[in-house]
Chains A and B, each alone.
Chain A
Amino acid sequence: MKDVAVIVEIIESTIQDISYELLGKAKELASQTGGKAVAIAMGNKVDVSSLPCDTVYYIEDDALENFCSLHVKVLSKIVQEVNPKVILAGNTSIGTDLAGHIAVELNIPVASLCNKVSVNENVRATSLAYGGKLLVDLELKERGVILANRGSFTAATEGSPEVKKLSLSDIGIEADNEIEFIDYIKPEEDVDISKFDVLVSVGRGIGGEENIDDAKELAELLGGEISSSRPVVDSEWLPKSRQVGRSGKTVTPNLYLALGISGASEHLEGVKAKNVIAINTDPDAPIFRVSRIGAVIDIFDVIPVLIDKIKEIKD
């Protein structure tokens, strides 16, 4: 029980970036435990030959091409065979479905929302809880399943692992229909916010649909577009195409001006801006920790003044 396993995430036959981050961490942890970094990949026609780790268990089958209820069954079998000390999974849609399940089934303690992990006799993890306002250090007895946030670890790039390729029948698993994949849905977009150099991004602090226009005006004056956090989209104040974060877009503008956004980790996963400037009434808002400049002030007090001043400069 020295190995460190990674649940590789594959969507549309493409290995997702988070998997390389987890493998980067797995290699580091494995060098401490004296074990191997093991990738567990399930899919169809996926090239796993250069994954950065020591061993890849690759279970290939038509039925595994897209995520479904078979994946958790396969994973459970392989994890029992590998018997790792640590299992790293992404704190993602697929990662959560898989990791929570096998943790209980195989009786391994679990830590989630993690951005740090280390090993000794036990497993230690730090969790970014409470919307990023508090950190929680956790100790997991002997072994652990760790659900890690995207962007927490440095990605490893390439390797030449030993690949153990298996089929469903090799491991004695039959098809089932508990959860069947039907199709992918790619929402239509009015605009691609990831293409802009300036984003004025509004959060719940904007208060209502009626206030969005001011933010739009500011965005236009700065030569950019408007984007938002999830609650703004959930409330239908802006369309889904505007959402930045785990479930929305990852954006890389020169300026990300965050208005009334707290800076939850699910949001920040999508913010890869050169310069974040945040305006928020709460001096402890986590958004300030990733900001170049922060202003503790009511957005409704400062936006009209900003708009007037920029107009003056432009005239």
Chain B
Amino acid sequence: MKICAILRTVPDLVEEIEVIDDEIEPFAYIANERDEHAVEEAVILKERYGGSVDVIGIVDEDSEEEIEEPLAMALAKGADRAIKLTMSNKSYRRIEQAKALAEYFKDKDYDLILTGIQGIDAFTGMLGPMLSVYMELPFTGYVTSVEAEDGTVKVQKELGGGLLGEFRVKLPAILGIVSAEKPLRFVPLAKLRQVMKKAEIEEDELEIPEFEGVQVVKYYEPEKPEIVLLEGEPEEVADKLIEAFKEIGVL
């Protein structure tokens, strides 16, 4: 199977995100967790059925995003090629990214394109379903496992509340991965460093078209919680928590 996984970075929520009306400035970026699962699943499929895995990392031209490390990580895990795609202009509109990617994928002949089902910044829709319309390929998301079966894949799709559905999808297809079927494999830092040193990351540009349709009016922080947060020494905090447990009748 010829597989491609799409990787994006998103703001690291552990760090501050500065808000300036209709713009945000994250302090740091990390790989989108669901995309990491898509890469993982791609590598699992390659190990099981043979073929190749290309991973494309999409970045914004003038942000501080570092896609090199997640791309090197994908190579360390077993991907064959890593391609950095720089967007010709900044875009939060998923539809613009989808249209551009569909152009990029023309003539690439992948059997399977895997994307993370959703990013934490997916407020203008999800990439997978949009890409599938432009590429005229079937799409389904919330996928947690994939099995190849002559010309199709049998997938398990989360339907909510613990229920899964099993579906047969005709190839070529696009799948939105929510979790890979196995935990993300661990890559020791030394190995990652080694790969980063000699990694050949190809580069290309992604010509972003313009669709107006949806506009960010503003970003803002939700209201602070009304409760007073307990702070202090563990002893003190534990006493207050125990008081609360008693109050609600569990102790």
A residues apposed to B, CB below 8 Å? 11, 16, 66-69, 92-94, 96-97, 99-101, 103-105, 108-114, 124, 127, 129-141, 144-145, 147, 177-187, 197-198, 222-224, 230-231, 234-236, 240-241, 243, 246-250, 254-255, 262, 264, 274-275, 277, 279, 282-283, 286, 288-289, 291-297, 301-302, 305-306, 309-310, 313
CA distance in complex: A101, B169 (Å): 16
| A94 B13 Cβ-Cβ under 8 A | no
CA distance in complex: A175, B88 (Å): 40
CA distance in complex: A275, B248 (Å): 8
Q: Known: A93-B141, A101-B139, A179-B138. Contact between A113 and B164, CB under 8 A?
A: no
Closest 3 CB pairs of A and B: A100-B129, A109-B213, A127-B123
CA distance in complex: A135, B117 (Å): 20
Q: Give which listed residue, A16, A178, A277, contacts B244 with CB less than 8 A.
A: A277
| B221 A133 Cβ-Cβ under 8 A | yes
Q: Known: A96-B129, A139-B215, A313-B242. Contact between A182 and B166, CB under 8 A?
A: yes
CA distance in complex: A141, B212 (Å): 8
Q: Does B220 contact A (CB under 8 A)?
A: yes
| B227 A288 Cβ-Cβ under 8 A | yes
Q: Report 26 cross-chain contacts, Cβ distance below 8 Å, ordered by A residue.
A: A11-B159, A67-B167, A69-B138, A93-B157, A93-B160, A100-B128, A100-B129, A105-B133, A112-B118, A135-B220, A138-B123, A140-B213, A141-B215, A177-B170, A178-B138, A179-B170, A183-B165, A184-B159, A184-B165, A185-B163, A186-B164, A275-B248, A292-B227, A293-B240, A301-B234, A306-B242
| B125 A100 Cβ-Cβ under 8 A | yes
Identity of the chain A residue whose Cβ is nearest the Cβ of B211 in the assembled complex: A109
Identity of the chain A residue whose Cβ is nearest the Cβ of B214 in the assembled complex: A109
Q: Does B250 contact A (CB under 8 A)?
A: yes
CA distance in complex: A235, B36 (Å): 13
Q: Known: A110-B125, A136-B219. Contact between A185 and B164, CB under 8 A?
A: yes
* B residues in contact with A110, CB < 8 Å: 94-95, 124-125, 214
| B217 A289 Cβ-Cβ under 8 A | no
Q: Does B126 contact A (CB under 8 A)?
A: yes
Q: Known: A93-B141, A222-B251. Contact between A130 and B13, CB under 8 A?
A: yes
* B residues in contact with A183, CB < 8 Å: 165-166
* A residues in contact with B19, CB < 8 Å: 134
* A residues in contact with B179, CB < 8 Å: 230, 234
Identity of the chain A residue whose Cβ is nearest the Cβ of B127 in the assembled complex: A100
Identity of the chain A residue whose Cβ is nearest the Cβ of B92 in the assembled complex: A136
CA distance in complex: A249, B158 (Å): 12
CB distance from A229 to the nearest CB of B (A): 12
Q: Does B52 contact A (CB under 8 A)?
A: no
Q: Does B75 contact A (CB under 8 A)?
A: no
Main secondary structure of the interface of B (DSSP, over half): mixed
B residues apposed to A, CB below 8 Å? 11, 13-14, 17, 19, 24, 33, 37, 94-95, 98, 117-118, 120-126, 128-130, 132-134, 138-142, 154, 156-170, 176, 178-180, 183-184, 212-223, 225, 227, 229-232, 234-235, 237-242, 244-245, 248-251
* B residues in contact with A67, CB < 8 Å: 159, 165, 167
* B residues in contact with A274, CB < 8 Å: 248
CA distance in complex: A286, B224 (Å): 9
| B183 A235 Cβ-Cβ under 8 A | yes
For the complex with contacts A96-B176, A112-B123, A127-B123, 15 further pairs of A-B residues with Cβ separation under 8 Å are A110-B124, A112-B118, A112-B122, A131-B13, A178-B138, A178-B170, A185-B156, A185-B163, A274-B248, A277-B244, A288-B227, A289-B222, A294-B230, A295-B237, A302-B241
Q: Known: A185-B156, A291-B225. Contact between A234 and B242, CB under 8 A?
A: no
Q: Give which listed residue, B98, B125, B245, contacts A255 with CB less than 8 A.
A: B245
| B160 A134 Cβ-Cβ under 8 A | no
* B residues in contact with A11, CB < 8 Å: 159-160, 163
CB distance from A280 to the nearest CB of B (A): 9
CB distance from A7 to the nearest CB of B (A): 13
| B162 A186 Cβ-Cβ under 8 A | yes
* B residues in contact with A100, CB < 8 Å: 125-126, 128-130
| B167 A181 Cβ-Cβ under 8 A | yes
Q: Known: A134-B17, A134-B24, A293-B244. Contact between A179 and B169, CB under 8 A?
A: yes
Q: Give which listed residue, B158, B160, B234, contacts A305 with CB less than 8 A.
A: B234
